[in-house]
């Protein structure tokens, strides 16, 4: 009995710690565990298994062996539980994890959207009042067709284009440009957040200003509805991605 008492006294603190972690996981789920608990769980499990092996080999008190067997069995399912497949994990991410992450960042997401679309609204109304603001924002670009000086027909041709009139190489290049440009904006919006979000706010606002001034050009020519449709084709997902990156 004395040998069993000493054996238990030397190791009982670790057993109780493991039992506490398992009880918390069983009652509230694994997400309730802290990073420290997750790091300690495998180590405490191995210690408990080692203690069980020793207890069996030296024929300690049966109550101790029974307790350790139950403790190790409970811990086994959390350390070596069934792993989900990649498909299941992706489905879980899309169905639950990603929406939960977005909901958790709702305030920063709304703030990022405010800077992007607020800048767009500001430039839109400024340019409608005075189109000189467009040139202030964009500068003189000799190769740009979509300017206040362009005719309605010229602006319309940038929206309604017969695929047969545009070479595949040009379509590929344009798609690549849009992807590269929006990806860069999203990456910079996310990366610049380390500086208290100030560069990110400026980047979002500036890109909103560019978008709003361009929108004003089409609106002023009576093509606001058409430009909106053209923008929504790719803008819904891409602008939302930029907002999320800025919120991150």
One domain for residues 155 and 38: no
Q: What is the pLDDT of residues 62-103, one digit of tens each?
A: 888 888 899 898 888 888 765 566 777 788 888 888 888 888
Instruction: Assess whether 75 and 107 both reside in one domain.
Output: no
Q: Compute the average pLDDT of residues 48-54.
A: 88
Number of domains making up the chain: 2
The conformational region for residue 144 under phi > 0 = left, psi -120 to 50 = alpha, else beta, is beta
How far apart CA 142 and CA 209 sit, in angstroms, is 20
SS3 call for 62: helix
Are the CB atoms for 227 and 219 separated by under 8 Å? yes
Q: For the CA atoms of 179, 183, 185, 186, what is the dihedral angle to 10 degrees?
A: 140
Residue 166 vs residue 94, higher pLDDT: 94
- 126-140, 147-161, 162-176: the lowest-pLDDT one: 162-176
Q: Give the range of the structural domain holding residue 69, as residue numbers without chain letter.
A: 2-82
| Mean pLDDT across the chain | 83
Domain shared by 164 and 240, yes or no: yes
pLDDT band at 161 (very low <50, low <70, confident <90, very high): low
- What pLDDT, on a 0 to 100 scale, did the predictor assign at position 128? 93
233 part of a folded domain? yes
Q: How far is CA 106 from the centre of its chain?
A: 12
Q: pLDDT tens, 192-221?
A: 888 888 999 999 999 999 999 999 999 999
d(CA 61, CA 4): 6
Q: Which of 51, 82, 113 is the last residue of a domain?
A: 82
- For residue 158, pLDDT beyond 80: no
């Amino acid at each position: 009995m004395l040998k069993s008492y000493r054996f238990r006294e030397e190791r009982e603190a670790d057993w109780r710690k493991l039992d506490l972690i398992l009880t918390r996981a069983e009652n509230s789920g694994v997400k309730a565990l802290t990073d420290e608990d997750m790091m300690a769980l495998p180590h405490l499990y191995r210690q408990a298994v080692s203690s069980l092996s020793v207890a069996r080999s030296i024929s300690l008190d049966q109550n101790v062996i029974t307790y350790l067997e139950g403790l190790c069995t409970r811990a086994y399912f959390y350390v070596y539980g069934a792993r989900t497949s990649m498909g299941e994990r992706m489905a879980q991410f899309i169905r639950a994890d990603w929406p939960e992450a977005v909901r958790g960042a709702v305030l920063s997401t709304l703030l990022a959207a405010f800077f992007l679309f607020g800048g767009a609204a500001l430039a839109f109304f400024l340019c409608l009042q005075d189109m000189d603001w467009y040139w202030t924002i964009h500068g003189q670009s000799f190769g740009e067709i979509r300017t206040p000086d362009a005719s309605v027909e010229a602006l319309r041709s940038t929206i309604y284009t017969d695929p047969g009139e545009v070479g595949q190489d040009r379509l590929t290049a344009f798609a690549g440009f849009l992807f590269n440009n929006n990806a860069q904006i999203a990456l910079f919006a996310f990366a610049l957040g380390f500086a208290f979000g100030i560069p990110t706010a400026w980047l979002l606002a500036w890109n909103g200003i560019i978008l709003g001034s361009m929108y004003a050009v089409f609106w002023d020519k009576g093509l606001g509805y058409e430009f909106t449709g053209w923008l929504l084709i790719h803008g819904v997902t891409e602008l939302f991605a930029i907002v999320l990156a800025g919120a991150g």
